[in-house]
Structures are given as structure tokens and as C-alpha cells.
């Protein structure tokens, strides 16, 4: 530290120091790997365990840690040296004004850009891959990402705006999915009737679960919502008569184009509109459906932020005690946030059910909640654009791993990059938090201002413990 | 009566394991105010370490005495898991100290996802059984064909838990480290002003929590004889429930809460339905937090404006 602060030439002199430090890291890595990586337990024929030593993997891991640490130290030393050269006063002003303005400009431009790109994606995909059926992968990926964008925007109302930490959001997603699945399979209701009903059910559940936890804050609230999410999942697994248990519900009616089914028959979508039949029509329709739902969520959120209720949410996030002393009814404020967030989760859930045609409780486990929360926090708690970027990074990034087949040439035939998807996902979550604890877009622009809207850097916002 | 007695024994055994994990939650929450979400997965990792060490000692090195093997496994697993706890704190939590309040929680969730998938990649997704050991036990009561037994495993689990808790109690109440730890819990800044190395104390807290989780991991492996990469989440949440129930920040509370959760779970399974035992545990968490947020032995939080 001492050496790096005084200048760049000292950075080189500290190389033995860096190497020693990296050596310690490698040693720790060795200690961590010793039994758990170095020996793999293999089940034998008579269901006993056999140990297979794998010291080469351990050596590789330790070497990788060593190299990464050396690189990290060198980069850090250079950054410190550059910081030391610039006057500290500049840094202070940068924190207050420089960053927000850039962020503000970026976020103003980003939303129309995103919407434009999202609207054109099927066309781009078809042109780039050279055919409707070849573009299937990209359109499906778009649907997946947009589902998470929508879920992120829905949860953003609860976590980002109202500041209520919800780790069980997936419960409402599940309620929406099961509401559509059960209503359509038992009563034959169409998707467009079920969609608002599913939203209503989810909102009702949001209120039901929100009511008992009104007094809780912060981490406690997070854990209770986690417990609620798990309870709903366990009930879905065990209430076999209603939900089909762990086997789930299959053959859920597929989406129709406002009543016109996507079939090859006479009154199918293709025949009615004079197109040649292609199963991809349904996927493109689903893509635009989820895009519309996501944009609806965004529009409602942006409008609500300007209404008294939205301002009350944001006030609640910043300081609950001040809120109460100003006469804001925190009960209704919290409950509306829970209910609205849950409603959008329910919409997304019924979309999920209609897209998959099959749902089971395993789709609604805690990991999903964690991913959605990570998207919101990484996006910057309350920033709509940030959530969209984070959803693309968190969902699209791991998806890219599927395409890394060439790594097999490096690591051998048995290597499957897909296995490492969640492992890297967890690491990325930690790295993102260490790198930007306040998320990608941490700037706050007040929804309502007296004269001019001035952005506030995230580091200047003190959040209460709501 | 005999069913009740048997379930009481089973519940206390399970509760001891939960209590040991709960201490890690309660200490970390007490000192830095964060829910160390990855603690359940640290417990799972320790179980795997214990399994591999046990196999190494018995099949590769040919150690014939099970008792000696278990002792060595226990000590080594505690040490190696403590290293995991230390490394996790160093990499994932320390850079976030004094940061935005949600950041450590998200980071901890990331560590939790990482650990379970790390073990899945390193050891495979299938359940790993241990060779049967320490079979048999005492028959306490035998009437009408239903024998109430206290197996050697259960004896061992309760004895190890009791001894370790006594040692731990001594450590926290009577040693310099314990004083530093309690001081940091009350007021970190003031403790630093009085010359306590706060970072070191926090590191040691994580190390101790992980070591106790390792004991729980070894005992869990011994008791159930099988472990898989996904075994960290549910015991972790239940142990956290135990910590909250006993009053978070309170060490005797964590053990008491663990025992209560263990008892509720076994009695629920025995008298109501085994499918809904986790629902029962999670519902208790919600009910306790809603009606009694400071727990049984915890101090009520004072709201300062």
C-alpha cells in the first residue's frame, strides 16, 4: 500500500511483496481445495465410496489464483498511482457532480435505445440467422431475458422504491403461474381472462403476506419473506390433490393470438393471415407479449413514482421514522408496494405458464428469488434502466456459457461449461457487490423537484432501515 | 409415552446440530449485523470435508479404530472449515464493511450459490453415503414391542455438543478474545478506540462460527450417514430460525432455539405429517419474528431517532 501510493516506479519495486502476497493466496487456495477438490468421491458398484485423487486440478486452481492475484495487485497499484497524482479535491467534486450527470444522460438515452432494440430483435434475429426457425434460439433467449426484466421491474417496486427487502418474490411468480394453470385446465378460461385474475390473486397474496410483516425491517424482513416463499413452494409440492405435487401441471393450454390458435389447421393463425405455417409464429408472439407486459410494468412504475403513493414509497425507503412523523400511513404504503410488486410477479408467472405449457414447484425455488433480487440490487435499487442492464448481464451472461464449446479443446472432452453456470453466477454476484455495492446505476434522480432536477450520487444517499 | 420419549431423544439430537450451526449465525449477526447467508453452505462443505477425510483415514491409511478416526476427522475438519470461513469473510464480506446495507447480504447469497455449486462440480450431484459406523445403542425402555433406544451416535452427538458449548462458553466469557468479541458486538467504534483490532476480531468470529458449523457437519454426517451438495440450505435456514427464536446475538439463546426447533420438527413429523415438517419450521420463524422479534433471550432493539 505504502509503495503504491508514492508513485509508479515504486510499484515495480514492490514486486517481491506482490509475489509473496499472491503466494499466500495460492497457499490458502491449496488449503481450501485439499480434501474437497483433491479427492473426488465416486460411488462404486456396491454403493460404497471410492476416492479418486485429482492433484492436477488442485495445482491448476492454485496457479490460477496466484496469477489472478498478481494481476489484481498490479492493476490496483497502477490505479492507486493514478489516483495519487490527481488532486483529491477533484475526486470529491466528481463524486457529487461528474458521475451523476453522465449517468443521467446515459439513462435518458438508454431507455428509448433499449425499447427500440427490443422491438426490433425478432427482425434482427431473423435477418442475422437467415430464417425464422433458425432464429429460434435468439428469440427464446430474448423471451427469457425479458421475463427477468419484468420480474426485476416488479420487484423493483418493493425493493427499489419502497425499500422493503423481499427474498420470497418468486412466491408471487408461482401464484401467478399456478393461477393460470389451474384456471385454464379446470375451467377452460382463456389466457386473456386469466392474466388479470392471476395478477389479482398474486396481489391478494402480496397483501396477505405483507400484512404480518409490516413491523419487520431489513434483514429480518428478508428472512421472513424467504420463509414465506419456501412455505408456498413446499405447499405446492405437498398439496398433491390441487397442484399435482412435484410432478407439476402439464398440458396447460398454449397462447392464442387473441383467440386464434397457432395451429396448422384451417382457422389457425397462419391460415387466417395468409402466411405459411411456422411454429415460430407463436414464439414471436410470446416475445412481443412479454415485451408489452414488461413495458407496462415500466410505464406503471414510472407513473406511480410521480403520484403521492410513489413519493411515499421513496420517502419510506429513505427514512421510515421521518415518514411516520410526517403523517404518511406506512401500513398502506407498504401494503400497496407489496401488492403491486406481487401483481406484476403474478403477470410474469402466468406468462411463464403459458409459454412453458408445463409448470412444477421446482421452477420456483429460492435461487430464482435470489436471481431476481440480485438483478434489482445490481441494477441500482430503483433504476429502471439499471434493472434492464442487470437482467441482460445476469441471465444472458450465463446463457452465453452454453456456446463455449471450444473450451473443450483446452480442458478435455468431459468438460461441460454449462456445469459451471451457477458457480460463476455466484462468483459474479460477489464480485459485483465488491466492485459496485450500490449497483450499476446508483444515481438517484428525484421524481419531484422544486426548480431543477439534480441527480444525487448513490454514495450520498443515506438509507434508513426500512 | 414411549413414542414421546423416543421423539424427545431424536429431537434433542437434531436440536444439538441446529444449535451448533445457529451459534455461527448469532455471533456474526451480533458483531456485524449481517445475516451470513452462506453459513448453511459452509456447514455442508464441512460435511463433505469430513466424509473425504474419514474415507482417507479408514480405507487409504488403514486406520482401524473408528473412534480415533472420528477424533482426527473432527479436528481436521474444524481446521479446514475454519479456513473456509476465514477466506469467505476476507474475500466477500470485508471489502463491503461500512457499505450499503444490502450489499453484504447479496454477497452472502452469492457465496452460498457458489459454495453449493462448487461442491456439485467438485464432487458430483449424487448423494454420498458413508460406511455404517457406531451402530447399536442402549435400550432405555421396552414395553409392548416398542423399544425406546438411545443410540451411541445420539449419545456422542449430545456429548460432543455439550463439551464444545462449555469450551466455547469459556472462550467467550473468560478470555481476552471473548472480551474483545463482546466489546465489538456492543460498539465497534468504541472498541477500536480502546485498542481492539476489530478486523481481527471479526475474522476470528467467522473462524469460530465455521469451526462450530464443522462440528455440526461431522455430527450430521455421522447421524444421517449421507450428504449431498444441496444439504446446506434447509438446515441453514432452520439454524437461522433457531438463532432468531432464541434471540439473535445471544449464545445460550442460539442453543436453546436450536433445541426447540429440533424438538418441534421431530414432534411435528411424528404426530402430524412428515411432509409439512419444513413448513412448520418456517412458519415458526415467521411467527416468532412477527410477534416476538427479539426472541426468547434477546434484548429488545431500541429505536433511536
A235 in contact with B, Cβ within 8 Å:
yes
Among the partner-chain residues B33, B83, B282, the one whose CB lies closest to the CB of A31 is: B83
**Across residues B37-57, what is the average pLDDT?**
91
Distance (Å) from the alpha carbon of A144 to chain B's nearest alpha carbon = 21
**Across residues B244-263, what is the average pLDDT?**
88
Neighbours of A259 (CB within 10 A): 9
Contacts of B125 (CB under 8 A, 6+ apart): B228, B229
Tell me the whole-structure pTM to 2 decimals: 0.85
pLDDT at A108: 65
Query: Which residue of chain B is at minimal alpha-carbon distance from A420?
Result: B121
Give A142-165 as a DSSP string.
HHHHHHHHHHHHHHIIIIIIS---
Question: Which of chain B's residues have a Cβ under 8 Å away from the Cβ of A230?
Answer: 237, 278, 282
Q: Is A197 left (phi over 0), alpha (psi -120 to 50) or beta?
A: alpha
Binary contact (B84, A32; C-beta < 8 A): yes
Cβ atoms of A344 and A153 within 8 Å: the answer is yes
A233 in contact with B, Cβ within 8 Å:
no
- Each residue of B104-128: pLDDT tens digit? 888 998 999 999 999 988 888 888 8
A48 in contact with B, Cβ within 8 Å:
yes
Tens-digit pLDDT profile for chain A (466 aa)? 344 444 444 445 578 888 888 888 888 888 888 888 888 887 777 777 778 888 888 888 889 888 988 888 888 888 888 877 765 544 444 444 444 455 555 666 777 777 788 787 777 877 777 777 777 788 888 899 999 999 999 999 998 888 888 888 999 999 999 999 999 888 888 888 889 999 999 999 999 888 888 777 777 788 888 888 888 988 898 888 888 888 888 888 887 777 777 777 777 777 777 777 777 788 888 899 999 999 999 999 989 988 989 889 988 888 888 888 889 888 889 999 999 999 999 999 999 998 888 889 888 988 889 889 888 888 877 788 888 888 888 888 777 777 666 666 666 666 666 778 788 888 888 888 888 777 777 666 666 666 666 666 655 555 544 3
If you ran DSSP here, which 8-state letter would residue A444 be given? B
* Distance of alpha carbon B233 from alpha carbon A73, whole angstroms: 34
* Distance of alpha carbon B143 from alpha carbon B6, whole angstroms: 13
Helix or strand (DSSP H, E) at A419: none
* Distance of alpha carbon A113 from alpha carbon B213, whole angstroms: 50
By CB neighbour count within 10 A (0-12 exposed, 13-18 middle, 19+ buried), where does A59 fall? middle
Reported ipTM: 0.85
pLDDT at A446: 63
pLDDT at A1: 39
pLDDT at B87: 93
% of chain B beyond a pLDDT of 70: 97
Phi and psi at residue A447, in whole multiples of 5°?
-70, -35
Range in A9-13, B30-34, B60-64 with the lowest mean pLDDT: A9-13
Question: Which of chain B's residues have a Cβ under 8 Å away from the Cβ of A222?
Answer: 35, 105
Helix or strand (DSSP H, E) at A49: strand A49-53
Mean of per-residue pLDDT scores for chain B: 86
Cβ atoms of A374 and A389 within 8 Å: the answer is no
For the cut 60, the answer to whether the pLDDT of residue B83 exceeds it is yes
**Across residues B211-223, what is the average pLDDT?**
91
Question: Which of chain A's residues have a Cβ under 8 Å away from the Cβ of B104?
Answer: 433
Interface test with B, best of A27, A36, A50, A156 (most B CBs within 10 A): A36
* Distance of alpha carbon A380 from alpha carbon A390, whole angstroms: 9
Start-to-end CA span in chain A (Å): 38
Task: Name the grid cell of A315.
Answer: 420517502
Binary contact (B105, A220; C-beta < 8 A): no
Amino acid at each position: 500500500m505504502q509503495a503504491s501510493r508514492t508513485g509508479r516506479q515504486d510499484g515495480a519495486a514492490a514486486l517481491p511483496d506482490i509475489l509473496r502476497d499472491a503466494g499466500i493466496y495460492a497457499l490458502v487456495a491449496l488449503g481450501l481445495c485439499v480434501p474437497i477438490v483433491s479427492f473426488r468421491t465416486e460411488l462404486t458398484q456396491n454403493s460404497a465410496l471410492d476416492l479418486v485423487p485429482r492433484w492436477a486440478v488442485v495445482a491448476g486452481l492454485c496457479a490460477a489464483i496466484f496469477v489472478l492475484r498478481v494481476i489484481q495487485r498490479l492493476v490496483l497499484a497502477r490505479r492507486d498511482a493514478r489516483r495519487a497524482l490527481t488532486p483529491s479535491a477533484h475526486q470529491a467534486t466528481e463524486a457529487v457532480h461528474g458521475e451523476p450527470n453522465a449517468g443521467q444522460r446515459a439513462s435518458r438515452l438508454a431507455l428509448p435505445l433499449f425499447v427500440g432494440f427490443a422491438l426490433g430483435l425478432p427482425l434482427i434475429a431473423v435477418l442475422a440467422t437467415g430464417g425464422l426457425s433458425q432464429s429460434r434460439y435468439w428469440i427464446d433467449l430474448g423471451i427469457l431475458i425479458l421475463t427477468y426484466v419484468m420480474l426485476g421491474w416488479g420487484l423493483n417496486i418493493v425493493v427499489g422504491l419502497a425499500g422493503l427487502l423481499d427474498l420470497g418474490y418468486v412466491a408471487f411468480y408461482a401464484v401467478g403461474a399456478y393461477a393460470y394453470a389451474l384456471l385454464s385446465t379446470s375451467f377452460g378460461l382463456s389466457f386473456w381472462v386469466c392474466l388479470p385474475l392471476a395478477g389479482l390473486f398474486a396481489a391478494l397474496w402480496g397483501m396477505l403476506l405483507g400484512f404480518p410483516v409490516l413491523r419487520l425491517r431489513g434483514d429480518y424482513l428478508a428472512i421472513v419473506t424467504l420463509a414465506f416463499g419456501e412455505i408456498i413452494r413446499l405447499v405446492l409440492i405437498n398439496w398433491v390433490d390441487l397442484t399435482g405435487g412435484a410432478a407439476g401441471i402439464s398440458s396447460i393450454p398454449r397462447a392464442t393470438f387473441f383467440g386464434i390458435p397457432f395451429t396448422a389447421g384451417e382457422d389457425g393463425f397462419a391460415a387466417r393471415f395468409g402466411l405459411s405455417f411456422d411454429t415460430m409464429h407463436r414464439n414471436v408472439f410470446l416475445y412481443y407479449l412479454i415485451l408489452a407486459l414488461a413495458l407496462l410494468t415500466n410505464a406503471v412504475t414510472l407513473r406511480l413514482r410521480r403520484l403521492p403513493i410513489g413519493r411515499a414509497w421513496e420517502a419510506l425507503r429513505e427514512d421510515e421514522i421521518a415518514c411516520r412523523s410526517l403523517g404518511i400511513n406506512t401500513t398502506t404504503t407498504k401494503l400497496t408496494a407489496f401488492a403491486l410488486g406481487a401483481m406484476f410477479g403474478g403477470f410474469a408467472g402466468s406468462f411463464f405458464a403459458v409459454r412453458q405449457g408445463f409448470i412444477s414447484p421446482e421452477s420456483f425455488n429460492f435461487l430464482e428469488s435470489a436471481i431476481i433480487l440480485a438483478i434489482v440490487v445490481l441494477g441500482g435499487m430503483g433504476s429502471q434502466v439499471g434493472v434492464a442492464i442487470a437482467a441482460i448481464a445476469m441471465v444472458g451472461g450465463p446463457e452465453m456459457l452454453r456456446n463455449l464449446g471450444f473450451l473443450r479443446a483446452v480442458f478435455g472432452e468431459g468438460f461441460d461449461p454449462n456445469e459451471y453456470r451457477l458457480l460463476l453466477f455466484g462468483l459474479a454476484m460477489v464480485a459485483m457487490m465488491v466492485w459496485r455495492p450500490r449497483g450499476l446505476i446508483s444515481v438517484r434522480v428525484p421524481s419531484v423537484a422544486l426548480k431543477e432536477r439534480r441527480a444525487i450520487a448513490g454514495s450520498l444517499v443515506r438509507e434508513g432501515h426500512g | 409415552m414411549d413414542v414421546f420419549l423416543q421423539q424427545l431423544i431424536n429431537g434433542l439430537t437434531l436440536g444439538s446440530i441446529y444449535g451448533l450451526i445457529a451459534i455461527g449465525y448469532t455471533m456474526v449477526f451480533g458483531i456485524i449485523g449481517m445475516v451470513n447467508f452462506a453459513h448453511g453452505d459452509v456447514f455442508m462443505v464441512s460435511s463433505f470435508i469430513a466424509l473425504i477425510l474419514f474415507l482417507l483415514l479408514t480405507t487409504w491409511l488403514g486406520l482401524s479404530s473408528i473412534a480415533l478416526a472420528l477424533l482426527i476427522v473432527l479436528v481436521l475438519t474444524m481446521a479446514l472449515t475454519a479456513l473456509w470461513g476465514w477466506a469467505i469473510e476476507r474475500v466477500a464480506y470485508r471489502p463491503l464493511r461500512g457499505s450499503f446495507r444490502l450489499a453484504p447480504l447479496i454477497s452472502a447469497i452469492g457465496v452460498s450459490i457458489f459454495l453449493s455449486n462448487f461442491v456439485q462440480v467438485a464432487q458430483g450431484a449424487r448423494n454420498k453415503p458413508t460406511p455404517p459406523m457406531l451402530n447399536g445403542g442402549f435400550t432405555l425402555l421396552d414395553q409392548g414391542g416398542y423399544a425406546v433406544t438411545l443410540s451411541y451416535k445420539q449419545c456422542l452427538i449430545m456429548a460432543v455438543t455439550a463439551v464444545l458449548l462449555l469450551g466455547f462458553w469459556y472462550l467467550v466469557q473468560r478470555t481476552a478474545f471473548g472480551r474483545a468479541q463482546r466489546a465489538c458486538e456492543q460498539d465497534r467504534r468504541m472498541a477500536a478506540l480502546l485498542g481492539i483490532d476489530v478486523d481481527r476480531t471479526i475474522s476470528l468470529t467467522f473462524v469460530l462460527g465455521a469451526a462450530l458449523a464443522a462440528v455440526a457437519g461431522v455430527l450430521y454426517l455421522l447421524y444421517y450417514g449421507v450428504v449431498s451438495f444441496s444439504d446446506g440450505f434447509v438446515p441453514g435456514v432452520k439454524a437461522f430460525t433457531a438463532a432468531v427464536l432464541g434471540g439473535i446475538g445471544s449464545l445460550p439463546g442460539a442453543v436453546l432455539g436450536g433445541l426447540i426447533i429440533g424438538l418441534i420438527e421431530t414432534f411435528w413429523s411424528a404426530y402430524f405429517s412428515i411432509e409439512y415438517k419444513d413448513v412448520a419450521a418456517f412458519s415458526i420463524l415467521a411467527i416468532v419474528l412477527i410477534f416476538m422479534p427479539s426472541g426468547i433471550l434477546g434484548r429488545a432493539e431500541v429505536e433511536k431517532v
